[in-house]
Amino acid sequence: METNQDYLIDSQNEVTHILRTFLEQRTSITLHLVGDTVSSALTTVLDINPSNAELIVDYYPDENFNHQAQLAEKLVCVATRNGIRVEFESFSISKTWFDRCAAYRLDFPKVISRMQRREYFRISPLMKQQPKCIVLDNNREEIRFTILDISCGGVSIKHDRPNEKKLEVDIIYSDCNIELASPIGLIKTPIRIRNISEMPSQNNQIYTRYGCEFVDLPSKTRMMIQRYIIKLEQDSRSKDWM
């Protein structure tokens, strides 16, 4: 998995413990299919079997999703619980049966990315100054995005226009400007697109969400982002922006 090494867990015992917690607490997991098309589904863990290198999750009875799953390059699984974001990948998804019910069999993850609350903050849509991200695509076209959440490892961004898909998974975009509030201001950094998903809005329009990883982020810039997150947490508690 290509992510910041500070957040990687590759101990099988620790990976198993995290997944067992998901199983016991019925934690919701979002499955993001990565390939020519973008599709997502919610599921939960039904069984873990590290000795057979398999993870069993609940079935999503949608014909289109299951067709795309067979064509997908890989699957990105994301869960958030108590402010901790967990992400892992699977390069295989197949239909199976568990307790006489349909289920999915995934590869048991060898590595999990775990991002702590202090490193990850979801942006409130009620902020007076919504942070923005501007990316130059491969055609040197400037595309504007709204930042949904931010961490020292990357950002999640939403395309400002509905029904648009401009960026591609696993591609590095060297010209990316992150516009944060004062006193941080403008941050320039390459980003790699990790996953893509669809976000329906209240007016039934579909927006594209991109999970992005910062590439070769300098330690000074990382500290600036950390200070920004701390300020957001303080402002959130005081509700000064509402």
Give tens-digit pLDDT for 19-76: 999 999 999 898 888 776 667 888 999 999 998 999 999 998 888 888 888 888 888 8
Residue 3 has pLDDT above 60, yes or no: no
- Residue 6 confidence (pLDDT) above 50: no
Three-state SS for 82?
A: coil
CATH number at residue 148: 2.40.10.220
170 and 86 inside one domain: no
pLDDT tens-place string over residues 127-174: 556 788 999 887 888 899 998 888 888 888 988 777 676 788 888 999
Q: 94 and 12, same structural domain?
A: yes
- Residue 85: predicted pLDDT: 78
Domain count of the fold of the chain: 2
Rounded-to-integer distance, Cα 150 and Cα 169, Å: 18
Q: Taking the model in full, what pTM does it have? A: 0.53
Q: Which of 81, 115, 149 is the last residue of a domain?
A: 115
Confidence (pLDDT) at 82: 64
Residue 109 pLDDT level (bands cut at 50, 70, 90) = very high
Distance CA 200, CA 98 (A): 31
Q: Are residues 74 and 128 in the same domain?
A: no
Final residue of a domain: which of 82, 115, 148?
115
Highest mean pLDDT among 42-56, 78-92, 181-195, 203-217: 42-56
- 1-10, 32-41, 190-199, 228-237, range with the lowest pLDDT: 1-10
In our burial notation (b when 16+ CB lie closer than 10 A, e otherwise), range 36-53 reads: eebbbbebebbebebeee
Cα–Cα distances in Å, from 75 out to 79, 109, 138? 13, 11, 25
Q: Who has greater pLDDT, 235 or 190?
A: 190
Give yes or no: residues 10 and 99 share one domain.
yes
Q: Is residue 177 very low, low, confident or very high in pLDDT (cuts 50, 70, 90)?
A: very high
Q: Rounded CA gap, 37 and 48, in Å? A: 28
Residue 101 is part of a domain; what is its CATH number? 2.30.110.10
Tell me, yes or no, whether 9 and 107 share the same domain.
yes
Q: Which two tokens stand for residue 99?
A: 């307790």
Helix/strand/coil for 146: strand
Q: Give the side-chain half-sphere CA count within 13 A for 225.
A: 24
* Residues 220 and 128 occupy one common structural domain: yes
Domain boundary among 115, 145, 166: 115
Let me know whether 233 and 125 are in one domain: yes
Do 101 and 197 fall into the same domain? no
| Structural domain for 184, as ranges | 121-238
- 127 and 93, same domain (yes or no): no
Q: What's residue 174's pLDDT?
A: 92
Residues 102 and 128 grouped into a single domain: no
Whether residues 128 and 104 share a domain: the answer is no
> Rounded to whole angstroms, how far apart are CA atoms 4 and 38?
24
Same domain membership, residue 230 and residue 136: yes
In the three-class reduction of DSSP (H, G, I as helix; E, B as strand; rest coil), residue 48 is classed as strand
Pairing relation of β-strands 172-173 and 176-179?
A: unpaired
